[in-house]
Structure 1
Amino acid sequence: MMKKIVDSGHTSCAKPCLPGFVSIILHAHLPYVRHPEHDSFFEENWLFEAITECYLPLIGVLDRLQKDNVDFSLTLSLSPPLICMLRDELLQTRYLNYLHQRLELAELEITRTRHQRGYQKLARLYRRFFRYCLDTYQNQYAGDLLAAFKKHQASGHLELITTAATHGFLPLLNVNKTAVRNQIKVGIDTFKATMGFAPAGFWLPECAYYPGLETVLAEFGIKYFFVDTHGIMDADQTPKNGVYAPVDCGNGVVAFGRDPQSSQQVWSAQEGYPGDVNYREYYSDIGFELDLDVVAPYILDEKTRINTGIKYHRITGKDQTKAVYDPRKALAKAHQHAQDFIDKRQRQINALSATMDRMPIVIAPYDAELFGHWWWEGPCWLENVLRMAGQVDNNIQLITCSDYLNQVTSHQVAQPSASTWGDQGYYSYWINESNDWIYPLLHKAQAEMEKLVCDLAGLVVTPLQERALNQAARSILLAQASDWPFIMKSGTTVDYAKKRIMDHLARFNYLHDGLRKNRLNERYVSALEIMDNIFPEIDFRDYCASGSRVQATSGQY
């Protein structure tokens, strides 16, 4: 379809050239929320809601596009914690229980709303939806959603990439180079062990970049990453093509910049599509609206109100009573918004291509959980966009960044500036008065881990000591997750976020002290391995920056 011209950075075509490209990237990530020590745990619902409302609908979109032979391109970043949770048998079993509960609640709602026609139609819709989720999850993919994504990667329409091990905020971990290196290495190793191939792209957690980070990415074979708009616009060299062409960081690793226009259309609370009054209201849920005795079996401890996923109202207007949700109007509006998105990209690309020395590429990255979880109609919007972009009468082509780099090989050399896609564009959301106390603790644990492993260099460790060292590495990585300081700043489930950090640090401290004093309790080590069974392929030896290796023995401790 496209031919490469290596020297100029241009491409030529066998048929008339399209003026430009659009690359849509979805980043799927959740913190590690797995609690086998409890029969059930509220925060595990974060995963179950995302599977039900986002990941299964996304798989449905991909399956339908494949069935209809639609030519599309999409990129999906899967975080290592999400990969590990989707593979976990305990969470798979608990998710099936969650789905059966939702089906039971939908059946009860069909009976309860028998005299409320508008509500009952929606109750029946939810029953159909939950049945679809159960059939897709249990029968079509046997609980293995990663296999579904791999199938579409193999088709050539979906590019899968990954991110850091526990979504650690890399600029603030950069006090210790080994911390950054292991976040990246363990993330990529986890992806490769699961997917069977190495990712070409890397999603920087929170799009948080600092100059020099590209050298670590290059070490692990990464070809490209993403930064926010100002990361490119404030680079050390003025970008000739703005954010509509990537820059080479000087070592062959390229940075793509986020397009502000397409981001605002989807993300903006005031101007974005999800705020349309015809769409389903996320915050209107029967878990909060019905009498407690009706929903008690389906909420937390039968007394704490939580979302059930059954919502009957549309967003409506300000200061108005919430109107009943109308799915037909909402889906029609999703189609209209998809056409608006395509139309705006066409006009944008036409204007850009008239001034650039190459075909522009519009980078449109989003959190995957927006589509379906926060914005119920998001998967429908996305499917319409992917179908419309494949039509022959438009002037854009969807492309993955890997395919773009295979076609366009000459890039301006520039060093992006420090940046994130968070509030105010830099690091303040992840280090402020609400969460700055965690970083000295994280840095101290990281330094202690590195010193311990280096002190063991050249020595023989027993199997139990090796298990404890690997578990200590897991504890450090889990404590470093960017989700916890984010939650502390945003003010949601703050106590849980604090507890997760302190628990992981306490587990590390126990293991560290037990190794230093040769007082390990095998039962306790085993318990920690059961609770935090993430990253099965981890190797503690990577924490010794000197490169000396610790030897293992097959003997018993």
Structure 2
Amino acid sequence: MFCLVLHSHLPWLAHHGRWPVGEEWLYQSWAASYLPLTAMLRRLSDEGRSHLLTLGITPVLAAQLDDPHCLSGMHHWLGNWQIRAHEAAGMPDAAHRDLGAREHRASADALTDFELRWRHGGSPVLRDLLDREAFELLGGPLAHPFQPLLEPRLREFSLREGLADAKNRWNTTPTGIWGPECAYTPGMEIGYAEAGVTHFMVDGPALRGDTSLGRPVRDSDVVAFGRDLQVSYRVWSPKSGYPGHGAYRDFHTYDHATGLKPARVTGRTVDSADKAPYDPELASAAVDRHVADFVSTVRRRLRGEAERIGRPAVVVAAFDTELFGHWWHEGPEWLEKVLRALPEAGIRVGTLEDARTQGYVGAPVPLENSSWGSGKDWRVWAGEKVSDLVALNSEVVAAALDTVDKARSLGSAPGRPELRNRVNDQILREALMTVSSDWAFMVSKDSAAEYARDRAHKHAHAMREIAAAVAAGNDASAARLAAGWNAADGLFPGLDARRLPARSAASAVGVSGVAS
């Protein structure tokens, strides 16, 4: 069986800048990746196809796809895209006219799709596809924290709230998850089992490259599926992956008059000014060659692994969803053609849940600390370059939990139900936003590092400000501050601090995984 797994995630960007980092990132990914992906799944589903792929959608991305501000911003962005296409089409040279015509068709299609299906949010679009069984949904914890470094009670809370968020949006509680950064530490499988999670993703090296079957983790029944690097790197590799082919549209080269992308990659060492104009027919021919190559690669890998282990094998290829369309313009076309070509070549396509329930599971594995980051360890999120963020996260989490614990103990009375406390809710919400794995990743990779640090400290400041008012006994000020900060971002309205595990429960959730 072949399983295609896509992980859809962006940090919370609404109200936090536009360009070069901010809402523009969301709208570009939405237009180039999320619209084409759901349209493709709808087309294949209309043909009677199902169980096409496994799709992870993080709660923080789902929140943005449903957020009224983001929906309005996306509509405006699509309209602006069409205006820019008109400007290009009205220029005197043939190159701009061709670019404008091509971009006008694309923007018109996107606007039609968005206005017809997305104006009430992404949840109705995705729920329809889930009802059709077009894909398996993977969930995840709220705000995308690096779970091994997270205090165990907050780790459990974040996961359970994330799964509840999926239930609220799609009437589906995922049994599989893509843990942020594929990060794992021993003990997490216990928390997964208690939350109802039956399977999750790890990177191939975490299984020492033996990804031919899912593997139960330690003494649990929770199954880890590993990304097959030999197959995934046919697409993903920055040195030899398909998106770097000379015929494909170049991501980094802009036409400064219109903000559109007019060039093809041409060559890896070619300067932007020297890149050749984009040719859709040339790109489409390259897609067909790369589809054939990928199908051949999957077939060889499946046969080879089946012969090696003496039984039918599974191959899992896993990628960020945003690779297809946002980073690799031709990615959606490639995806649809691959999903058509694989069954035509006699290759069975299924989801991770299909693989788990249909017996593609081997012997238990003593999984150790791992991630899918550089070195396959935790250096990106816990290394020297981000030591300040690690310290910040520890301080914020400790303060948040201490404040909420004290408030809950003072506010409870024997024999009476605990009432919801919006101040406690907001303290935990800001703490989770502070520890998002995105901030450390962006700093370690020197990708908008200043923005990332600013975001982490902004949420930390919000938590401290509310907690200080609580500590001072100024309940009115705490409530006003909590309401103000909640209005500023307005995500995760279902988060409920009453569901935070009691302090005594921490020993049951894998304390060994907490960084010293």
Fold shared, TM-score > 0.5 on shorter chain = yes
1:279 to 248, 259, 265: 248
Between 425-434 and 372-381, report the one with greater CA deviation: 425-434
The SS at the match of 2:379 is coil
Gaps of 5+ in 1: 1-20, 235-241, 296-307, 549-557
Q: In 2, distance between residues paired with 1:219 and 1:127? A: 50
Q: Residues 26-58 of structure 1, C-alpha deviation per residue, up to 9 Å, x if partnerless?
A: 00000011118x899950111101100100011
Match of 2:373 in 1: 422
2:437 to 467, 479, 482: 482
Q: In 1, distance between residues paired with 2:358 and 2:419? A: 51
Q: In 2, distance between residues paired with 1:464 and 1:417? A: 40
Change (3 A) 1:198 1:41: same
The SS at the match of 1:355 is helix
Equivalent pairs, count: 495
* Superposition deviation, residue 467 in structure 1: 1.4
Q: How does 1:509-528 map to 2 (within 5 A)?
A: 509-519=464-474, 520-521=476-477, 522-528=479-485
1:533 to 469, 490, 504: 490
1:171 to 126, 131, 148: 148
Match of 1:317 in 2: 267
> Contact 1:72 / 1:390 at 8 angstroms: preserved in 2?
no
Work out whether 1:35 is the aligned partner of 2:15.
yes
Q: In 2, distance between residues paired with 1:465 and 1:61? A: 42
Q: How does 1:180-259 map to 2 (within 5 A)?
A: 180-233=155-208, 242-249=210-217, 250-259=219-228
Q: In 1, distance between residues paired with 2:57 and 2:342? A: 24
Q: Residues 202-230 of structure 1, C-alpha deviation per residue, up to 9 Å, x if partnerless?
A: 10111111111111111110000111112
Work out whether 1:353 is the aligned partner of 2:353.
no
* Superposition deviation, residue 544 in structure 1: 4.7
Change (3 A) 1:457 1:207: same
Work out whether 1:91 is the aligned partner of 2:108.
no
Q: Which amino acid aligns with 1:317?
A: G
Between 271-280 and 429-438, report the one with greater CA deviation: 429-438
Q: Which amino acid aligns with 2:203?
A: D
Q: Residues 518-553 of structure 1, C-alpha deviation per residue, up to 9 Å, x if partnerless?
A: 2242443322111121111111133352479xxxxx
> Contact 1:164 / 1:183 at 8 angstroms: preserved in 2?
yes
Change (3 A) 1:456 1:523: closer
Change (3 A) 1:171 1:280: same
Q: In 2, distance between residues paired with 1:145 and 1:281? A: 29
Q: In 1, distance between residues paired with 2:297 and 2:359? A: 24
Work out whether 1:100 is the aligned partner of 2:79.
yes
Match of 1:502 in 2: 457
Match of 1:338 in 2: 291
Q: Which has the larger radius of gyration?
A: 1
Match of 1:80 in 2: 59
Q: In 2, distance between residues paired with 1:505 and 1:43? A: 19
Change (3 A) 1:331 1:30: same
* Superposition deviation, residue 431 in structure 1: 2.1
Q: Residues 236-294 of structure 1, C-alpha deviation per residue, up to 9 Å, x if partnerless?
A: xxxxxx210011112110001110111110111121100100000000112xx34xxxx
> Contact 2:263 / 2:276 at 8 angstroms: preserved in 1?
yes
> Contact 2:313 / 2:360 at 8 angstroms: preserved in 1?
no
> Contact 2:213 / 2:361 at 8 angstroms: preserved in 1?
no
The SS at the match of 2:200 is strand
Q: Residues 147-168 of structure 1, C-alpha deviation per residue, up to 9 Å, x if partnerless?
A: 2222222212211111221111
> Contact 1:232 / 1:417 at 8 angstroms: preserved in 2?
no
* Superposition deviation, residue 438 in structure 1: 1.5
TM-score by length of 1: 0.85
- Name whichever structure is richer in helix by fraction: 2
The SS at the match of 1:496 is helix
Match of 1:469 in 2: 424
Q: How does 1:13-24 map to 2 (within 5 A)?
A: 21-24=1-4
Gaps of 5+ in 2: 506-516
> Contact 1:469 / 1:511 at 8 angstroms: preserved in 2?
no
Q: Which amino acid aligns with 2:235?
A: V
* Superposition deviation, residue 459 in structure 1: 3.5
* Superposition deviation, residue 379 in structure 1: 0.4
Q: In 1, distance between residues paired with 2:380 and 2:30? A: 27
> Contact 2:314 / 2:360 at 8 angstroms: preserved in 1?
no
Match of 1:9 in 2: none
Match of 1:404 in 2: 355
Q: Which amino acid aligns with 2:179?
A: L
Between 327-336 and 139-148, report the one with greater CA deviation: 139-148
Aligned CA-pair RMSD: 2.2
> Contact 1:229 / 1:259 at 8 angstroms: preserved in 2?
yes
* Superposition deviation, residue 172 in structure 1: 1.8
Q: In 2, distance between residues paired with 1:315 and 1:410? A: 41
Q: In 1, distance between residues paired with 2:402 and 2:95? A: 65
> Contact 1:72 / 1:398 at 8 angstroms: preserved in 2?
yes
Structure 1 residue runs of 4 or more that deviate by more than 4 Å after TM superposition: 38-42, 461-465
The SS at the match of 1:23 is strand
Q: Which amino acid aligns with 1:258?
A: R
Match of 1:128 in 2: 105
The SS at the match of 1:69 is coil
Q: Residues 107-138 of structure 1, C-alpha deviation per residue, up to 9 Å, x if partnerless?
A: 011002x32x2332121111111111111011
> Contact 1:450 / 1:544 at 8 angstroms: preserved in 2?
no
> Contact 1:72 / 1:389 at 8 angstroms: preserved in 2?
no
Match of 1:11 in 2: none
Q: In 2, distance between residues paired with 1:108 and 1:99? A: 14
Change (3 A) 1:516 1:313: same
Q: Which amino acid aligns with 1:119?
A: H
Q: In 2, distance between residues paired with 1:70 and 1:453? A: 48
Change (3 A) 1:523 1:39: farther
1:53 to 32, 36, 46: 32
Q: How does 1:440-479 map to 2 (within 5 A)?
A: 440-460=391-411, 466-479=421-434
Q: Which amino acid aligns with 2:401?
A: E
